[in-house]
Amino acid sequence: MRTLILALVSTLAACASTSANCPDAHTAGNGVATADSVAYAPTGPDGAVAPASITVTSEAFAEGAAMPTRTVFNSFGCTGDNRSPALAWRGAPEGTRSFAVVVHDPDAPTGTGFYHWAAFDLPAGTTALAEGAGAEGALPAGAHTGRTDFGGTTYGGPCPPPGPAHRYRFTVYALDTASLGLPDGASPAVVRFSMRGHILAHGTLTGTWGR
């Protein structure tokens, strides 16, 4: 674990020094570069960047469209139902042994964005999650959840500060391992870092929400 943490710190330091080292970096509406999660290339077992060949969809919203109120957080001035949207995906390659789903707001004014959900060790046969799967105990058997930036392990919906709408990126990763070997409550940074070298493919659906 000490080696993992040191390597993670080194990766974050490199990303902080220049956006060229952070393939997932984006620019927010105010022109300030913000990191998409921990800002790292989704590398596969061969060390190359994994292809974005997975198509992610939701019956709740289309790509780039506003997310419905039922998916919005219910606190901090937001009044939603805090239900994770239904998700479906296709295009996972042969050899996929598990999936991970990470929900992240790259536009949050934190420097590293804001994690709203991280689910991992989803069984290889999973091709969809029903609405509300982000609630406690609602994921398939064997799956685990990381800690969100709200401080819990369940889905936390959009609730940005007043101003321009933020993006909410639902990214699905196909992994070559059945388990990341992490417990529930692992930090999002460690979840993302542990996927490095195991990602066979990935895909993202982006929703928006603002107030």
Instruction: Give 107-144 pLDDT, tens digit per residue.
Output: 999 988 999 999 999 999 999 999 999 999 999 999 99
Element (H, E) at 8: helix 2-17
Lowest mean pLDDT among 85-89, 108-112, 148-152, 171-175: 108-112
Residue predicted with more confidence, 189 or 175: 175
Using pLDDT thresholds of 50, 70 and 90, give the confidence band for residue 34: very low
CATH of residue 83's domain is 3.90.280.10
Using pLDDT thresholds of 50, 70 and 90, give the confidence band for residue 40: low
Using pLDDT thresholds of 50, 70 and 90, give the confidence band for residue 36: very low
The residue range of the domain holding 205 is 2-209
Asked if 81 and 46 count as a contact pair (C-beta separation under 8 A), the reply is: no
Task: Say which amino acid occupies 148.
Answer: T
Single out the residue of 184, 160, 154, 195 nearest to residue 30, CA to CA: 160
The pLDDT, as a whole number, for residue 156 is 97
The pLDDT, as a whole number, for residue 41 is 82
Number of independent structural domains in the chain = 1
Instruction: Give the E-state strand segments of 130-197 in sequence order.
Output: 144-145, 166-175
